[in-house]
Structure 1
Amino acid sequence: MDPGCLPGGLGVSANGYVSIYLGLCAEVNIAVTFAVALLDKFGHTKRVSRVNHRFDGTGDVKKLPSSGWNDFIAHSDILDASKNILGDDDELTLVVSIEIEQPATVFDPIDAEHTLVKMIQGMFRDEETADVLFEVSKMEANEDGSKRGKSYIHFPAHRSILQGCAPMLAALFGTSNKGELATVAVHDVKPKVFRLLLWYVYGGTVSNEALKADAKDIVDAADKYSIVDLKLAAEAALVESTNITVEFED
């Protein structure tokens, strides 16, 4: 962004006034809120102007898209010594603040696959939009190592995503429950393994370290629920982390 403060700014100043404009030099399209404050020589604010504007950048410095005011301040006010606007070296002091408006996340057809994956990942364990719930049991232990009982870790999910990416998981819920949150208990998968499994279903990446740490459990869970690619990745990690020793007899 390039602020201009000239007798004509980047446009024509009103008669007897100084104009101020903000121009966009980059070849981008952005919406901004910007304000220009005029300070006197003591640092006190004398005038503030604010505007919202969308810039459509061309990248051509000779045709800068701009927005501002052609009557920001009168020459007579600047030259009025009682207003103390000019500094000791006859300079004007301006403070420009710019706030760029962040656009909402929208579907981008230019990068459709990447955008869609990001949107699905953003729904992972989203309780507000979920319509199904996995209750994954976790065995609690006493300090002496004896079993105390089970607790449950909740994993909210979305039936439509499960139906498209993990039909075996979707089938656990049966048919629709007329708008109610359908719940199913899972007892044969550890919570941390189930989290990796569900994250993978939502388009997430499971690191090689995580695969190696629970390779056997991930293979079993992915096989049970027919998540083939994750099973193959876990099997590869299992082989990679397995040491095979061959002894030869003399």
Structure 2
Amino acid sequence: MNRSIPRTIFATLAIFLIIPICAGNVHEVAICYLDDSVETGDIIELEQGYRLTIGDIRKNDAAISIFNGSEEILNTSISGDYIFEKEIDGINYDIIRISMNLNDGDPAPMVLEQYRDPGKPFDYPLIDAVSITIKKGEREPLKAGYGLEATSIIDNNVVLTLYKGDDVVKQEKLSGSDKRFIHTIKVDGQRRTILIAKLDRISNNDSVQVSGLSQFEVPESTDEGDDDDDDGNWNLQLVESTIFQYLLSIFVFACVFVMILGIARRVRK
């Protein structure tokens, strides 16, 4: 028997054992992306019941807490980049990646990317991580009346335009590959991700390929205090108006006059 055969088998098995160790963590599809400034005391609602709170921002580090529902599952300080991971069936999954620029202290620019937690239910994407090719000038129909168009492609640069009906919602110029097109909106004071797409490549200046395109429902607002505030402001303006005060004075004078007449009649009797 050729001695090289057992050596080859052993080397192959060793490679298969080493590859998972070298490969590092894995992650599922991105479901939330935020690029904004944060400050001490900020509370950021994420997807799948996660929540991030910013405890304190200093020159060299920042205190953060991560909650799963009402349970605090992490309380730590970070000095810039941080990955919150979770082990599921022996595999480490990246769940939340945070990158903060702490050079100028509070407030601090932060980029946050959240990936789907395979250990928790997630059943509300309208479009779930698809890959599509969009030709220049054509609009790819999405869900809920949205559409994504490759408006212009010149010299390895593409302008992607997101429409809602016939209205332009967002337009952004991307160059190269591995660039993200993100659309977020504010709901109840929180930034919520509505669309994520990654630019893979530009082909011959006539089409682009995007991957990981996910679209999410626009969350319904739970803030019902705006109408009450408007009513309160209207009532305050009414009370402070000159006409209201004049009519109120006449009403009080009339009541006092009627009361005096009543007392006078009783005295005469």
Whether TM-score is above 0.5 comes out as no
TM-score with structure 1 setting the length: 0.16
Bigger helix share: 1
TM-score with structure 2 setting the length: 0.16
